[in-house]
Amino acid sequence: MWGLRPAGRRLLSNGAEKDVEEAKQFLLRLRHPPEVADGVISALKSSGALLPTLYAMAGAWEVGGDAGLAALATAVELDMATKAGTKPVSFVVKVAHARHVFECHGLEGMTLRDVADHGEGAGAATLGEYLECACSGVMACSTCHVIVDAAWSQLVGAPDQSEQDMLDLAYGSGDTSRLGCQLKLTVEMQGLVVSIPAQAHNIMDHIPFPDR
């Protein structure tokens, strides 16, 4: 078999490098941290079609859609966290309208939405039943709205303006409201208590998605 001449190898190499750079810029645009973007790219490179696979998994990202990319990014982030020796964090969830209180277990650095989607144990599975995230965590809805117990509000901190804009649309929003996709666990939050409102306003239901 004839091998590629040096010039041909350089062209292929340059093309691959451009694909990697385009993929990274796209992932950064979706607000993934640089190290997570690198991990996603590494995971998708073996497909042999980096950009087509990446864009297919992103789905209708412009309107908060997703077709698997968010799950892959979270898996990469959790793998990184595990290898870095991050510590476990337990928190309590109250669902007053269902008279249900349960405990969840996650890792520092995970959001409540991460625990609901990718956490282990019965608590994480139950959280996934109550905590919707219609926009796949891109902060384009308020369906993962939680209310932080007043005793924990100062430690958890206030939302930034972008998050507050979504919380203003949430059902029963209050002074200690946060979005589950933005509330990240820290070791200081061991024993954190949050409540899930009885309803959720899902503005994603009113977006006219094109037929795909």
What is each CA distance from 157 to 48, 71, 173, 181, 204, in whole angstroms? 43, 26, 15, 14, 27
User: Of 147, 119, 114, 106, which is closest to residue 133 (Cα–Cα)?
Assistant: 114
Strand, helix or coil for residue 147: strand
pTM: 0.64
- Residue 142 DSSP label: -
More confident residue, 78 or 29: 29
Query: Is the pLDDT at 93 greater than 50, yes or no?
Result: yes
Tens of pLDDT along 136-174?
A: 778 888 999 999 999 999 999 999 999 999 999 998 899
Q: What is the pLDDT of residues 4-25, one digit of tens each?
A: 455 444 544 567 889 999 999 9
Residue 5: its pLDDT value, please?
52
* Banded pLDDT at 133 (limits 50, 70, 90): confident
Closest Cα partner for 39 from 11, 63, 69? Answer: 69
Q: Residue 207 has what pLDDT?
A: 43
- Are 190 and 162 within 8 A, CB to CB? no
| Higher pLDDT pick, 102 / 97 | 102
Average pLDDT, the chain: 85
- pLDDT band of 212, cuts 50, 70, 90: very low
- Among 57, 61, 62, 64, residue whose Cα is nearest residue 205: 64
| The pairing of beta strand 192-195 with beta strand 100-107 | unpaired
C-beta of residue 159 within 8 angstroms of C-beta of residue 169:
no
Contact 24, 37 (CB under 8 A): yes
Q: What is the pLDDT of residue 13?
A: 57
For 205, the enclosing helix (H) or strand (E) is none
Q: What is the pLDDT of residue 186?
A: 95
In the predicted model, is pLDDT for residue 209 greater than 50?
no
| Distance from C-alpha of 153 to C-alpha of 158, rounded to nearest angstrom | 8
Q: What's the average model confidence in pLDDT over 103-123?
A: 89
Dihedral angle over CA of 145, 146, 147, 151, nearest 10 = -140
Predicted confidence at residue 44, as pLDDT, reads 93
Q: What is the pLDDT of residues 64-83, one digit of tens each?
A: 778 888 888 878 877 887 78
